[in-house]
Structure 1
Amino acid sequence: MQPTGRDATVAVVGCDGYAPDEVDAAVRRAVDLLGGIEKFVAPGERVLLKPNLLQGQEPERCVTTHPAVVAAVAGLLVERGCRVVIGDSPGAGIVYNEANLRRAYARSGFAAVAEETGVALNYDTGCRTVAYPEGEVMKQFSIIAPAVDADAIVVVSKAKTHMWTRMTGAAKNLFGLIPGLEKPVFHFRFRDEYAFGRMIVDLNECMRPRLQVVDAVMAMEGDGPQSGSPRKVGVILAGSDSSAVDTVLARLIGMDPLEIGSIRSAVERGLIDPAAVRTVGDNPADFAVPDFKKPSTYAGGGAGIWRRVVLAVVQRFGKAYAPRPAVIAQACIGCGKCERICPVHAITITEGKATIDLARCIRCYCCHEMCTEHAVALSRGPAGRLLARLLG
């Protein structure tokens, strides 16, 4: 049974491509199925529209939320009479400053969205501490200024696999409210995906976005959130509860929702009952992609006794199983993003190339996630390959 006061309804609307008229119609229908935009925001409210910006990449790479989806949601908010600002903190390893924001907005297409719709882009790089005494693992967060100043937050995320959290959708997207160079602290403190998931739930409960829209028209499979490959799912998802939306998304891409740390944490806290999640609109089965390629770090699947034994070994000897990052020297340009992001300072730039101290590495894959040159490769040692075969 779904907890009282939390709406586990998720709108599922087919969308075959990114033609603006088609996206506008799909987004509007999804929101209307939930009760209309007036259910979520009021005229005159200042709304932060929070996309997945990461470092800012061209839309066709499927790294960021597609600008057509951002524009469609922005249009609904403007039509409602809201004061809208698009904002996000680029991924860890990126200095949170105006110059980097301008580059990211331009490359991702969000600058064009702002010009087209008349909404603002955030260039305020300040942040403030937000207390959350009810938090399970976090009692306060450092949050970027436009989120603190907003009356409401609307999240427009991108459906992707993730090397660390297995999947990134609605809940994980809110991690972008943490200023860029403060993100490695969280990776250092929460070293497994379930601990990290508990923090993500605290963050979502603290900031309470009012509406979630997921761009799953073209998703990313494989080694996301940046180095995977585009894969068509053909759907827009929308809902008010991030865990409910992510539950539907996980099922669409062939994952058990309880494998996702944030969903599991929400279930353990009594915030969501996956069995009570209700969909409206189109049939989710029409868009399911059971062979969606999982990240190379993925160890999901069946629940047999032997498999549980092997998974226990994996959890105990995580470094033996987990892929190891290695620098591809000929591809490395020595930009230093990986050095800045590493939460345990296991990476140094020497003679213009990155080097990784595997003895210190905690296998968070932040270096792989943030390398735009694809200069960080992942591979398993002999013990890891054996465990991978047993789990496969």
Structure 2
Amino acid sequence: MTDGVQDASPGTRGLQGDAARAVVALARCSGYDRLAVEAAVSAVLDASGWRPACGARVLVKPNLLRFQPSGLCCTHPEVVRAACVWLQAHGVHVTVGDSPAFGTAQGVAARIGLADALAPLGLAVIQLDGPRQVEVADGGGGTTTIGVSRHALDADAILSVPRLKAHCQMRVTCAVKNLFGCVCGVRKALAHTTHGADTRVFGGLVADIFAALPPVAALCDAVTCMHVTGPAGGEPFGLGLMGASVSPAALDAVCCSVIGLDPSVVPLWGEMRRRGFPGTDPADMDYPLEGPSAFDGRGFVVPGVLKDVSFAPGVLLRSLCRRVLSSLRG
């Protein structure tokens, strides 16, 4: 136990009651009207069984990406706001942060309206900086390290708040892949470049990072998803789903099954199953609210051929220079 937040090893986190089953709470939400989003978020978080202790330090981790002006590739601000409202009502100390590979979390938050949405709650988005080295597999049978933010590692718990979206390297991403954003800044782009050619190796890297973090719960924005391509530049797909679970792996598995996928075509889902993480089989879950059949994922298009997501050295260097200049100005 850590400050009253239920702790769990990667082999047991996300389970409620029967050790073979996970709880995944799903609710309908037709749009991003504030009251509708608050109602749906409260319903799924309440039903998920997640109970962060009063006074616990919880990092809310949205998906913030610079590349798409519409903001479709980012978690919707109203979903992030509603999660923070729910947490504050439970007496939790909330921090909201991310570490985009390019640009800054504050800059993305300002552009998509998240900064304005959080300001009345007394919250501001922070950059997940302060890297600490975490051991991960190097893909060749050995190990290496990667810099994960101290804000994530020092939290009592993390709430991963992704948007369900297509991804040209991982086919589709959700709550577990969103935790890759706990890696500090340009290190994410470097990891894509050095590990991205092999989807299983990259999936293993993400799984290792997940295993190193404090207990993680998940809240998925699948009201309007992004399909066709990703991590940016995709098209909207209305699914009308809000989901939550103490197990990010379970929530990912359910979201993937709703849009007609199985582990054989989703590298990260397959990697989580291979490692024996619980909650990766939608047949072994409890649904206290809606079941997966209540949502129509037909027509959700994912990339057919997966490709390496890497970045040219010049792009990495320019991003690093911008970060240094930004820190000097601050």
* Alignment-derived partner of residue 128 in structure 1: 132
Shift of 1:120: 3.5
Shift of 1:131: 5.0
Give the unaligned 5+ runs of structure 2. Answer: 1-10, 16-21, 318-330
Change (3 A) 1:240 1:6: closer
Change (3 A) 1:150 1:56: farther
1:1-392 alignment runs, 5 A limit: 6-7=14-15, 8-35=22-49, 37=50, 39=51, 41-55=52-66, 57=68, 60-91=70-101, 94=102, 100-123=104-127, 125-131=129-135, 140-187=145-192, 188-272=194-278, 273-274=280-281, 275-297=283-305, 338-340=312-314
Instruction: Summarize deviations over 1:24-55 as a string: whole Å, max 9, x none.
Output: 000111011122x5x2x111122111000022
Alignment partners' CA distance in 2, 1:89 and 1:129: 16
Instruction: Summarize deviations over 1:295-350 as a string: whole Å, max 9, x none.
Output: 2525xxxxxxxxxxxxxxxxxxxxxxx6999xxxxxxxxxxx754457xx9xxxxx
1:53–1:108 contact (8 Å) kept in structure 2: no
Alignment partners' CA distance in 1, 2:288 and 2:124: 32
Instruction: Summarize deviations over 1:203-223 as a string: whole Å, max 9, x none.
Output: 111114431000000000101
Query: How many residues were matched structurally?
Result: 297
Shift of 1:17: 0.4
Alignment partners' CA distance in 1, 2:244 and 2:128: 28
Alignment partners' CA distance in 2, 1:56 and 1:209: 30
Shift of 1:229: 0.3
SS in 2 for 1:176: helix
Q: What is the letter of the counterpart of residue 44 of structure 1? A: G
Name the larger-Rg structure. 1
Alignment partners' CA distance in 1, 2:195 and 2:242: 34
Percent identity of the aligned residues? 32
Alignment partners' CA distance in 2, 1:168 and 1:124: 20
Instruction: Summarize deviations over 1:114-156 as a string: whole Å, max 9, x none.
Output: 20222232146322224579x9975643112321332221111
Q: With structure 2 as the length reference, what TM-score do the two structures score?
A: 0.81
Alignment partners' CA distance in 2, 1:270 and 1:53: 29
Alignment partners' CA distance in 2, 1:104 and 1:168: 19
Give the unaligned 5+ runs of structure 1. Answer: 299-321, 326-336, 346-392
SS in 2 for 1:217: strand
Q: What is the letter of the counterpart of residue 302 of structure 2? A: K
Shift of 1:260: 1.7
Change (3 A) 1:56 1:122: farther
SS in 2 for 1:9: strand
* Alignment-derived partner of residue 3 in structure 2: none
Instruction: Summarize deviations over 1:150-200 as a string: whole Å, max 9, x none.
Output: 222111111000000001101100111112211233221352212211111
Q: With structure 1 as the length reference, what TM-score do the two structures score?
A: 0.69
Alignment partners' CA distance in 2, 1:4 and 1:209: 10
